[in-house]
A and B are shown apart, each in its own frame.
Chain A
Amino acid sequence: MSNVPGDLKYTKSHEWVRSEDDGSVTVGITDHAQSALGDLVFVEPPEAGSEVSSGDACAVVESVKAASDVYSPVSGKVAAGNDALADSPELVNQDPYGDGWIMRVEADDPAELETLMDAATYEATLED
C-alpha cells in the first residue's frame, strides 16, 4: 500500500505538491510513482530560474527500464531544483516526500493549488 500523506496536494500524473511558509511550493513524485518506476538511476531536475507551466514536462526521472517525464502541477518560476539528486537519485525512492523532492516553484497563482486533488481523492485513483 502506497504512502499518501494527508497534508499534500496531488496530480493524476503522480506528482505531489506542498505549500511552504514562504509562499513557494515544493514538488516531487509520489510513493506510488517511485515504486512503479523502480530504482532510479538518474534525475534531471529543472534549472533554477526557468519558467514552468502546469501540465508541462519539467523534469525527467530515469530508472533502468524507462525515462519518464515529471509534469509541473503549477505554473510559475522554478526557485530551485534538487541538486542532491544528481549524485543520489535513490533519494526519490527512499524518501519521495522528503529529501527526494524535485523542485521548488514560485507559483504565479497560489489558487491553482486548489484545483489539484487532495489525498483522499488521489488515493481513490490508485485503487481503480
Chain B
Amino acid sequence: MILPELSPFKMKPGSLKKLALVFLAIVFALVLVQLITAPYKVNKQWQGVNTENYDYEHPQDSLVRHLAYLRALDIGSTQDSIYLIISLPDSSVSIAINGVKFYSTHIDEYDIDNFLTSISTSTVFNQFQRPLHSKEVAATIIKEPIKVKIAPKNAEEAAKMVTLPDSTIFENAIINYATENGMLLTLEGSNTEGWFIQSWNQLIDRLTSITATAYRIVVGIVHFEIYEYQPELTIKIDNVALTSIYRALPKEPQIVIYF
C-alpha cells in the first residue's frame, strides 16, 4: 500500500481556487466596509469641532445656514487677497476682496454629494461658517500664460521678433480644489457640445471616478491604510468666466461655500 505524501504545502485539487475566492471575498467585504464607514467617519470629524449647537429644523434651518454663510463672508472681508465664493442658493460663483464681491457668474449646473445634503445643520454651520483654505489645487489650464522673450541685441533683431498676443479662445478648463476639511470642489467649464457628446463624457467621467475610488480603496487595503472619503461638489460655469476666476485667485485660495 502506498501512503499519500504528507506535506503541509500540498493541497487538494481546487483548494487554491477556493482560497482565491475566499481572499477576493475578504477584499470585497473590506472594500464594502470602507465604503460604508468612510462617510460616517467624515461626519464625525466634521461634528467634532462643534462650538455652538443648532439642532433645530425648519424654519431655523435655512436661517442658521445663512448665518454660517454671512459669518464666512465676514471673516473673508478681512482678507486683502482675492477669495472664492460659491453660493448654490444664489446660483453664483463670485470672487471678492476686502469684502467686495466684484465679479460673479451664473452656475449652469451643479452636482452635490448626498453626504453634503444629508449632514445636519449643526455640522454645516460648524464646517462652513468660515472660509475654507484650499490645501491642494489641480487644473487642466495654466495659471499664468507666460511667454519668455530674450532681449534683442539691436533694432533689426527686434523688428524680426514679433510676439503674437495670447489667444482669446480658451480651452475647456477643470479646476480641483481640495479643502482643509477634506472636501473636493470641482469647477468645470460648461460644455457647448451636443447632448450625445455631453452624455458620453459624463458616463466616462463617472466610470473614471468609480475606478479611481475602487483603486484607492484596494491600494489602501494592500498598504493597510484607511480609505478617506472626500465629499464632492462639482460646479459648471461659463468657461471664460472659469478661466478668469482661476487666474484671478491666489495659488491656494480661501473658499466660502454656501448650500
Is A bound to B?
A: no
* B contact set with A: CB distance below 8 Å: none
